Structure 1
């Protein structure tokens, strides 16, 4: 039997197809594999061999019974089928970097270069970093480049909601480096847009490391985002970054810093007119920090300001920046409940968290897992052991598809609170579920 011909990549017309580009952007691998089979003649068994999968797994993906979420598997698909990284929201793949040109044969008049001493051109290529090579390979930045990169950022945020941010770190940082290189050769309006994009990627990288509980690295990226936004004189985005840093300080046990950062974020937002939805979110950040400081009065005052600002925002929703529109009524309700739980007002907090959880979109897996654990905590603190374990079990169901050390931290913290009830049947059942989900 003849060996299969070496795979050299998908036909250009397949890669250029709007439908193929759309399903790649959406990471709908069922349709990706179907189009590869139908339009490129690459059958499932060959797809499996090229991508390091079993044929049965490829069949299940094509049938829609399985998906792909882990970044390393998605990278294997990109490399195996030679799908450019940008189409799948990845950094450029190593094979996309062009090989160095072959040396021209030396003629009689050619200058002699000793074999053990590279030419200056070769030295330049050897000393260039991978990011420089990628930029050289891509050439001029265009508006379509910006559109593709923005689409990748939107996709990263969607995946962060659905699966957590920890596994996104390599791809996001790769994109950040790439955009930083593109900025070196741009000017005018294009440089302005690239810098804004770099600021958003730096914030996203910070958030991904924050979700991975790597706070020092997260702070480095948040600081980079802050500097980029400052270069743009974009005070509203600076407020956004400062709010992320405030939340991280709350988690990191630095409530004094958290309050200072939240208040600074409010000042930055006011400098641009203080859009009420932005102010509502920032006041809630302050409420979290004040609750961690165990200051009930300041916490309640911040909650009241958040609610009042949210009411003002109802008539100006269309004007709100895209990055704050996640802060809707259900988020206001559930965050109010969490702030109250942080100051020990569990009976008031429980119905708010339950209502917010009921309203939340099914796509917000990580948020729902967090909120279900907070609901379980409020119930446990009121002596409702059965209800608490049931809510925690629901949280584990949400967490099953997540790669989020922050969520895992909530699991461990809640489990520690169950220690006095270790012999109770609901606790034993929860621990069994926890072992199955986190195995």
Structure 2
């Protein structure tokens, strides 16, 4: 029995055409609609009905007027035209799972479900991805951009901030390669709203604050996906918007993101920017903000080899967490807690080549850190593996590196493998050990 396709479903041959693939990848839906009518004989009225777009809007897009940038509309069009998620930078769509027979797991019942090549781990992660995306999208309120010149109410920034907070949860289970376009679309939509709508001065400042938050979210996803120039541009735009909005906490956080990037090329500039981020937010920033910025400052000091500065910054971050009296914190620091600070502590001691301090901290926290946070856990395990190797515990380092490889498989982030590479190279001279040989062969494959 063949699966049902709506009348707008694009033929597979057309989806595979180079010009169609290029248009889909670029989110150029005007060209997609044009080719759909010309090559698949799908009328604009049918496309409009299935995609929830007015027919005149479909025609305008096909003529090159305007664009589609919001996550909801991109997802709706993808589902109506049966465009696979991977072509749009999205996770697999729900209908893909329905129309394709499920693969059988190679693991027998009662096992952990992880096969030699990690297939079951990847499938389980894909399930979490799809579930997270579907659940979040279902709960997002529709916020259509206002017509040019239309006044918007003071409730809109709060609604946008709530929406941004919900979308941020995607980062818990997805890598930047999956989320970048989603977050960038939200940022661009808010930017267009600021440009085209009318509002009071107070609402305008609130919108700029939301824009700064969205720029940081998109910048982080770009950084995670290896798009470093895009990330830098978004962080700089965020700092500008936050400063204009008078939001010192977000302005400081934008600088902290820039510091993280600058450490790779110029450690002194990275440290200076991290210090500036703490001064910008100031001592009156919410405790969670102060904790986040000072733990990032600690990391900058550690990369620069400043052990005393690292300890002072970590102590300040801990004091900020202790200062939390339960008052509401910005959602973008909700993930900063004592375990997060302990992980950063372990990372810093690893960077400072103090494995006897790093290993117990990382082992303790990672023992209760969920595998569904695959990208983050694989990253943190890479520091643990590095510390074991620094302590000359070669086989234990290989075991941890193998676990990190398992978790990073299928994650749309460049960072776990980049972090593991130095440890894998350092394991090379020990390939006569069976555990090491196995992990190096897996990494090579």
Q: Same-fold call, TM > 0.5?
A: yes
Q: Following TM superposition, by how much is the alpha carbon of 1:240 offset from its aligned partner in structure 2, in angstroms?
A: 1.6
Residue of structure 1 aligned with 2:168, choices 157, 166, 169 = 157
The question of whether the paired residues in 1 share the 8 Å contact of 2:205 and 2:246 is answered with: no
Aligned to 2:421: 412
The question of whether the paired residues in 2 share the 8 Å contact of 1:369 and 1:407 is answered with: yes
SS of 2:336's partner is: coil
The question of whether the paired residues in 1 share the 8 Å contact of 2:379 and 2:404 is answered with: yes
Closer, same or farther: CA 56–211 of 1 in aligned 2, 3 Å: closer
The question of whether the paired residues in 1 share the 8 Å contact of 2:371 and 2:407 is answered with: no
Q: In 2, distance between residues paired with 1:181 and 1:375?
A: 44
The question of whether the paired residues in 1 share the 8 Å contact of 2:183 and 2:217 is answered with: yes
Q: In 2, distance between residues paired with 1:56 and 1:302?
A: 48
Q: Following TM superposition, by how much is the alpha carbon of 1:293 offset from its aligned partner in structure 2, in angstroms?
A: 1.3
Residue of structure 1 aligned with 2:310, choices 286, 299, 305 = 299
Alignment of 1:195 with 2:208, yes or no, is yes
The question of whether the paired residues in 2 share the 8 Å contact of 1:156 and 1:168 is answered with: no
Taking structure 1 as the reference length, what is the TM-score of the superposition? 0.68
Alignment of 1:207 with 2:220, yes or no, is yes
Q: In 2, distance between residues paired with 1:147 and 1:312?
A: 27
Taking structure 2 as the reference length, what is the TM-score of the superposition? 0.68
Alignment of 1:178 with 2:189, yes or no, is yes
Q: In 2, distance between residues paired with 1:5 and 1:48?
A: 7
Alignment of 1:259 with 2:271, yes or no, is yes
Aligned to 2:250: 237
Q: In 2, distance between residues paired with 1:372 and 1:170?
A: 28
**Residues 310-365 of structure 1, C-alpha deviation per residue, up to 9 Å, x if partnerless?**
2223xx23333222121111111111111111111011100101112123344422
The question of whether the paired residues in 2 share the 8 Å contact of 1:262 and 1:285 is answered with: yes
Q: In 2, distance between residues paired with 1:282 and 1:158?
A: 21
The question of whether the paired residues in 2 share the 8 Å contact of 1:91 and 1:171 is answered with: no
The question of whether the paired residues in 2 share the 8 Å contact of 1:354 and 1:375 is answered with: yes
Q: Following TM superposition, by how much is the alpha carbon of 1:160 offset from its aligned partner in structure 2, in angstroms?
A: 1.9
Which one has a bigger Cα radius of gyration? 1
Alignment of 1:312 with 2:326, yes or no, is no
Q: Following TM superposition, by how much is the alpha carbon of 1:11 offset from its aligned partner in structure 2, in angstroms?
A: 10
Aligned to 1:394: 403
The question of whether the paired residues in 2 share the 8 Å contact of 1:385 and 1:426 is answered with: no
The question of whether the paired residues in 2 share the 8 Å contact of 1:163 and 1:401 is answered with: no
Q: In 2, distance between residues paired with 1:300 and 1:277?
A: 18
Aligned to 1:130: none
Aligned to 1:365: 374
Q: Following TM superposition, by how much is the alpha carbon of 1:88 offset from its aligned partner in structure 2, in angstroms?
A: 9.0
SS of 1:230's partner is: helix
**Residues 153-206 of structure 1, C-alpha deviation per residue, up to 9 Å, x if partnerless?**
234422222121133222222222221111122321442332222111111121
Alignment of 1:426 with 2:440, yes or no, is no
Residue of structure 1 aligned with 2:98, choices 58, 70, 79 = 58
Report how many aligned residue pairs link the two structures: 349
Aligned to 2:25: none
Q: In 2, distance between residues paired with 1:376 and 1:4?
A: 49
The question of whether the paired residues in 2 share the 8 Å contact of 1:269 and 1:275 is answered with: no
Higher mean C-alpha deviation, range 136-145 or range 397-406: 136-145
Q: Following TM superposition, by how much is the alpha carbon of 1:61 offset from its aligned partner in structure 2, in angstroms?
A: 8.8
**Residues 204-234 of structure 1, C-alpha deviation per residue, up to 9 Å, x if partnerless?**
1211122123333211111110111111111
Alignment of 1:224 with 2:237, yes or no, is yes
Aligned to 1:117: none
- Calculate the aligned-residue CA RMSD, in Å: 4.0
Closer, same or farther: CA 59–201 of 1 in aligned 2, 3 Å: same
Closer, same or farther: CA 195–350 of 1 in aligned 2, 3 Å: same
Q: In 2, distance between residues paired with 1:308 and 1:87?
A: 39
The question of whether the paired residues in 2 share the 8 Å contact of 1:243 and 1:282 is answered with: yes
Q: Following TM superposition, by how much is the alpha carbon of 1:60 offset from its aligned partner in structure 2, in angstroms?
A: 6.3
Q: In 2, distance between residues paired with 1:5 and 1:304?
A: 59
Q: Following TM superposition, by how much is the alpha carbon of 1:407 offset from its aligned partner in structure 2, in angstroms?
A: 1.6
The question of whether the paired residues in 1 share the 8 Å contact of 2:291 and 2:316 is answered with: yes
Aligned to 1:119: none
Q: In 1, distance between residues paired with 2:167 and 2:271?
A: 29
Q: In 2, distance between residues paired with 1:215 and 1:367?
A: 19
